[in-house]
């Protein structure tokens, strides 16, 4: 009979033969002396091999154990992002609230509530914040730089144990960033004075100008934006960017390249040209006959007078609206009284909401090329039920098809997304939290990065990326939902279609649809961010 093969020997010595084969071997060993001796040699060999390998290597004893670098990964990144986001958000919130909404809203109230002192309050608040705000702004910009550096440093730490090339790349990028980033403060010029600040006619400021004083007079040229607060502001020079003014009296006589936004007791354009929109709130607002607004005008005031021309729409919230100039498109007035005087010419429609139709006065020469529509007070206005229109359903079907096609392409291009799941409990919350963080922090970061002009392309990329992410988020969640309903991996296309249909129905539910949509978006975005982040760190591990 034939002897055992070396493979049988070896495997038997390692106790690795299947039971039936082991029986055959045992039977043969009983009768074969040669094989028995050979087998015992194999067994000794295996034992010796294992023993030798377990012999402690002398250099292992001297091994220096490096510090364990705790995985900074997602959590660390998220924490830094969260902290950055919160601080910037707080700063931004104050800034926006005080300058934007609070003052404009306060002025808005004036159409209904008459508070003569509000402009004084507003301008002194603005003054205070401009004074405190310059320090805040400095700190703020410093903060962006520091936080960017922190994120970079963190990335380096993260990458350090993954791959040296990645770390090298990070250092390179950080260095390049530090070198190319302009000192942020150089993009701003700040002037403060208790009494008055004058930018002389011969002077040119190539930056954004922030100015606060009792009396401000800008006779020269500012190529950037102007943010001004004071009691009296007079702009007779030219402003290349946007003009933001907060004062008791604002007179604009020069040229504004961008948007003019202001709140003042009295806001006047005298032979002024505004390249962008005009947003003004005040007791008395006036666009004189030699002034021209190249885009829309939105005016909220006790008394609004338009003698000059506005190229696009005019929206006025006012007790009294008087128009004797030209309006390029529609005039919409929420007013106690609308008067078209002299040669007033409205090229588009005139819509006015008022208590009574006879509150509209038209002079003999006044013309309205479009329709004149009286809309009554908003109370009579009934919102149309969106679910009762055909367009609604057509639009939803278009949405479904678009999302479905995008989804098919997305999951085909990035197969890794197919395996995402919304973990139960904490994991789901984590995804939602990360998504929320992204949705909040990216725009803020984008705005801040855009302040340094060199950051503009980055912030543009970031915003486009975020918008894409927000769009894809619901598709990703739809994919997950679809997979939850179908057995894993079966009918991927159909499961996506079903998932998207469910999502579209869910986000259109009355009352809760908005919340559902928001939740799905942040969860999907969180999953996407986690996925992308995982991809980056895995790539680091492979290199």
Per CB under 8 A, residues contacting another protein are 3, 5-7, 10-11, 14, 16, 37-38, 41-42, 44-46, 48-55, 57, 60-61, 63, 65-66, 68-71, 73, 161-162, 541-542
**Closer residue to another protein (CB): 70 or 194:** 70
DSSP 8-state code for residue 470: H
* CA neighbor of 146 nearest in space, from 83, 102, 98: 83
Closest distance to another protein from the beta carbon of 25 (Å): 13
* CA neighbor of 346 nearest in space, from 326, 323, 318, 362: 326
Q: Which residues pair with 306 in a beta bridge?
A: 287, 323
**Closer residue to another protein (CB): 71 or 513:** 71
8 A C-beta contact, residue 237 and residue 201: yes
Closest distance to another protein from the beta carbon of 436 (Å): 23
Q: Which two tokens stand for residue 162?
A: 């993954």
Q: How many residues does the chain have?
A: 543
Closest distance to another protein from the beta carbon of 16 (Å): 4
Q: Which two tokens stand for residue 471?
A: 């769009």
**Closer residue to another protein (CB): 54 or 194:** 54
Closest distance to another protein from the beta carbon of 8 (Å): 9
**Closer residue to another protein (CB): 8 or 294:** 8
**Closer residue to another protein (CB): 31 or 55:** 55
* CA neighbor of 74 nearest in space, from 523, 542, 535: 535
Closest distance to another protein from the beta carbon of 36 (Å): 10
Q: Which residues pair with 263 in a beta bridge?
A: 246, 281
**Closer residue to another protein (CB): 1 or 65:** 65
DSSP 8-state code for residue 102: I
DSSP H or E stretch at residue 336? strand 331-340
d(CA 470, CA 502): 18
Q: Which residues pair with 309 in a beta bridge?
A: 292, 326
Q: How many CB atoms lie within 10 A of CB 453?
A: 10
d(CA 467, CA 463): 6
Closest distance to another protein from the beta carbon of 208 (Å): 46
Closest distance to another protein from the beta carbon of 174 (Å): 22
**Closer residue to another protein (CB): 65 or 487:** 65
**Closer residue to another protein (CB): 24 or 363:** 24
Handedness of CA 266, 271, 275, 277 (dihedral sign): positive
Closest distance to another protein from the beta carbon of 77 (Å): 14
DSSP calls for 174-228? HHHHHHHSPPGGGGEEEEE-SSEEEE-TT-EE-SEEEEEEEEEEE-SEESS-EEE
Residues with Cβ within 8 Å of 343's Cβ and at least 6 positions away in sequence, in order, are 324, 365, 366
**Closer residue to another protein (CB): 8 or 111:** 8
Closest distance to another protein from the beta carbon of 51 (Å): 8
């Amino acid at each position: 009979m034939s002897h055992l093969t070396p493979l049988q020997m070896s495997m038997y010595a390692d106790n690795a033969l299947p039971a039936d084969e082991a029986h055959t071997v045992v039977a043969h060993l009983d009768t074969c002396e040669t094989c028995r001796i050979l087998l015992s040699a194999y067994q000794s060999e295996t034992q010796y091999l294992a023993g030798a390998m377990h012999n402690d290597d002398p250099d292992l004893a001297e091994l220096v154990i490096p510090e364990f670098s705790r995985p900074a990964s997602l959590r660390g990144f998220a924490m830094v992002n969260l902290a950055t986001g919160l601080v910037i958000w707080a700063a931004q919130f104050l800034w926006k609230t005080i300058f934007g909404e609070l003052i404009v809203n306060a002025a808005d109230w004036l159409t209904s509530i008459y508070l003569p002192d509000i402009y004084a309050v507003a301008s002194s608040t603005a003054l205070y914040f401009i004074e405190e705000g310059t320090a805040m702004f400095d700190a703020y910009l410093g903060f962006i730089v520091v936080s960017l550096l922190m994120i970079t440093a963190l990335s380096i730490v993260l990458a350090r144990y993954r791959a040296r090339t990645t770390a090298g790349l990070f250092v390179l990028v950080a260095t390049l960033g530090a070198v190319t980033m302009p000192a942020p403060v150089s993009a701003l010029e700040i002037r403060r004075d208790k009494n008055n600040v004058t930018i002389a006619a011969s002077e040119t400021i190539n930056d954004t100008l922030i100015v606060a004083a009792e009396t401000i007079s800008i006779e020269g040229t500012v190529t950037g934006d102007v943010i001004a607060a004071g009691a009296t502001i007079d702009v007779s020079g030219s402003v290349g960017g946007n003009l933001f003014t907060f004062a008791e009296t604002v007179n604009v006589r020069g040229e504004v390249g961008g948007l003019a936004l202001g709140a003042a007791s009295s806001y006047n354009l005298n032979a002024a040209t505004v390249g962008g929109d005009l947003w003004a709130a005040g007791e008395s607002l006036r666009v004189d006959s030699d002034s021209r607004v190249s885009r829309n005008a939105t005016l909220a005031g006790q008394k609004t007078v338009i003698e000059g021309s506005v190229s696009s729409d005019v929206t006025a919230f006012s007790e009294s609206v008087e128009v004797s100039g030209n309006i390029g498109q529609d005039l919409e007035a929420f007013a106690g009284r609308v008067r078209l005087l002299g040669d007033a010419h409205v090229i588009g429609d005139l819509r006015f909401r008022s208590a009574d139709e006879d509150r509209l006065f038209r002079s003999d020469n006044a013309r309205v090329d479009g329709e004149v529509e009286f809309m009554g007070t908003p109370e009579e206005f009934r919102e149309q039920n969106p679910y009762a229109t055909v367009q609604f359903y057509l639009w939803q079907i278009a949405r479904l098809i678009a999302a479905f096609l995008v989804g098919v392409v997305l999951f085909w291009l990035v197969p890794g997304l197919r395996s995402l799941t919304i973990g139960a409990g904490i994991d789901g919350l984590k995804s939602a939290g990360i998504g929320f963080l992204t949705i909040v922090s990216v725009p803020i970061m984008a705005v801040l990065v855009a302040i340094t002009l060199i950051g503009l392309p980055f912030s543009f990329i970031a915003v486009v990326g975020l918008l894409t992410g927000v769009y894809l988020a619901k598709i990703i969640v739809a994919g997950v939902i679809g997979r939850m309903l179908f057995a894993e991996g079966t009918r991927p296309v159909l499961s996506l279609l079903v998932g998207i249909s469910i999502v579209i129905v869910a986000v259109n539910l009355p009352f809760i649809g908005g919340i559902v949509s928001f939740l799905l978006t942040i969860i999907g975005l969180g999953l996407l961010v986690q996925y992308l982040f995982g991809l980056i760190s895995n790539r680091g591990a492979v290199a």
